[in-house]
Amino acid sequence: MLLETCRSAIPLAGVAIAFLYKYIALALLTAILITACHGGSPQNLRLETGRSLSADCRVVEHAAGKTKICGKPQKIAVLEPKMLSLMLALDVQPAAYADAYLLRSPKFDNPSQQIPYLGKYVTSEPINLGDRSQPSLETLTLLKPDLILGLNSQDNQLFSAIAPTVLIDNEQNWQDNIKIVAKAVDSQKNIASIVTSQKQQLAKVRAQLTPLVNTHRRVLNIVCSQSMDYIEVRYGGNTIELLEKIGFQTVLLPGIERKLGLRPQINLETLAQLDADIVIVNTWLDNWNGESTYKVPLQELQQKWTKNPLLHNSIAWKEGRVYFVDYTLWGDVIGPPITNSLILEQLPSLLLSKTLNP
């Protein structure tokens, strides 16, 4: 009886071993195919297995190369607020998202409260991909998105192994970038109306602020921490560009040439010597976990300025034209076109008012 049992087990063992060999061979073949498609190539040209280039497929040129996308992506993973702004403007919703602010919840189930400014335009409940600087590859893999969207500074070869990936260069103008995103998500019909609407809004605000520009042209835009131990002068960026299109003149540090991306740091003594008609102070909220109301302590920083007599000699302070704003919106954390629209919405009421400096 025992002998018969052993004899019957031998064929079964052989089948198991054969199955194991086939599994290993299949795994090796899959690894070779992935390496062949993605390894060593600077171009992000993804060719879908079993799908040939047909009428519903297109090749999207972007900041990291070229990507083949077929059909209209339904499940889109967004790795950055700037990219989310472009996508929402095109009336496309994210399936997953990585924000600048960490959220403990596995998904954005209350986006209007959990995603600053952009959340009110989000009607889906995106899966939380974690920090934009290091999105979760594990979550992305489990999600199996149809498309991944991000910035070229986030470039990772593993993204394109998960799904077709399109990355934009944030230094390029948003009008060019939105065309890339629109082609990727297959939603190009809204571009002209988005650009036209933004131009009309800018023209309206420029007309409203022309009298102020004529008398208070010089604007100093700075970033200041709540502790006031970090102060940065902004030479460029989205807000600066909007202000200059309206007609304002950016105040620069003496002797420091204006260059792309230059953000010189200064101390309080240097700040007190900079003469400007208007000062815009960007500050931020520390340690927000996405579970409570997003509210930046602007009044707290204003009170600290009030208690520092060194800062009271400027024309802007004496005339009540030092304005405290949220860095997340005004400091290029979120990008156009939605940022532009929100800032232009706020500018007239902000700059045509005077702050009460005790």
- Please report, for the chain, the start and end positions of each structural domain, with discontinuous segments joined by +: 57-189, 193-351
Decide if 57-189 and 193-351 have a common fold.
yes
Q: Output the pLDDT for position 19.
A: 37
Please state, in angstroms and as integers, the Cα–Cα distance from residue 104 to each residue in 30, 127, 286, 324, following that order: 35, 11, 16, 29
3-state DSSP: the chain helix, strand, coil percent, rounded to 5? Answer: 45, 15, 40
Lookup: tokens for 98: 């990585």
Residues 252-274 have a mean pLDDT of 85
Residues 113-158: tens digit of each pLDDT: 999 999 999 999 999 999 999 999 999 999 999 999 999 999 888 9
Please state, in angstroms and as integers, the Cα–Cα distance from residue 302 to each residue in 277, 310, 354, following that order: 17, 14, 13
Lookup: tokens for 192: 């002209």
Q: Output the pLDDT for position 356.
A: 61
Residues 289-335: tens digit of each pLDDT: 666 678 899 999 999 999 999 999 889 999 999 999 999 999 999 99
Q: Distance (Å, rounded) from C-alpha 94 to C-alpha 96?
A: 5
In this model, does residue 42 exceed pLDDT 90? Answer: no
Q: Distance (Å, rounded) from C-alpha 97 to C-alpha 285?
A: 20
What is the percentage of the chain residues whose pLDDT exceeds 70?
A: 81
Q: Distance (Å, rounded) from C-alpha 233 to C-alpha 222?
A: 5
Average pLDDT, the chain: 84
Are the beta carbons of 335 and 174 closer than 8 angstroms?
yes
Lowest mean pLDDT among 21-25, 140-144, 172-176, 269-273: 21-25
Lowest mean pLDDT among 73-82, 193-202, 264-273: 264-273
Strand ranges (E), the chain: 57-62, 65-70, 76-78, 96-99, 127-131, 147-151, 165-168, 218-224, 231-233, 249-250, 265-266, 278-283, 322-326
In this model, does residue 355 exceed pLDDT 80? Answer: no
Q: Output the pLDDT for position 262.
A: 76
CB-based burial label for 167 (10 Å; 0-12, 13-18, 19+): buried
More confident residue, 40 or 291: 291
Q: Distance (Å, rounded) from C-alpha 346 to C-alpha 329?
A: 11
Which residue in this structure is represented by tokens 């594990």?
138
Q: Write the CATH number of the domain with boundaries 57-189.
A: 3.40.50.1980
In this model, does residue 358 exceed pLDDT 90? Answer: no
What is the percentage of the chain residues whose pLDDT exceeds 90?
A: 69
In this model, does residue 191 exceed pLDDT 50? Answer: yes
Q: Output the pLDDT for position 189.
A: 85
CA angle 198, 80, 49 (to 5 degrees): 110
Are the beta carbons of 221 and 253 closer than 8 angstroms?
no
Q: Write the CATH number of the domain with boundaries 193-351.
A: 3.40.50.1980
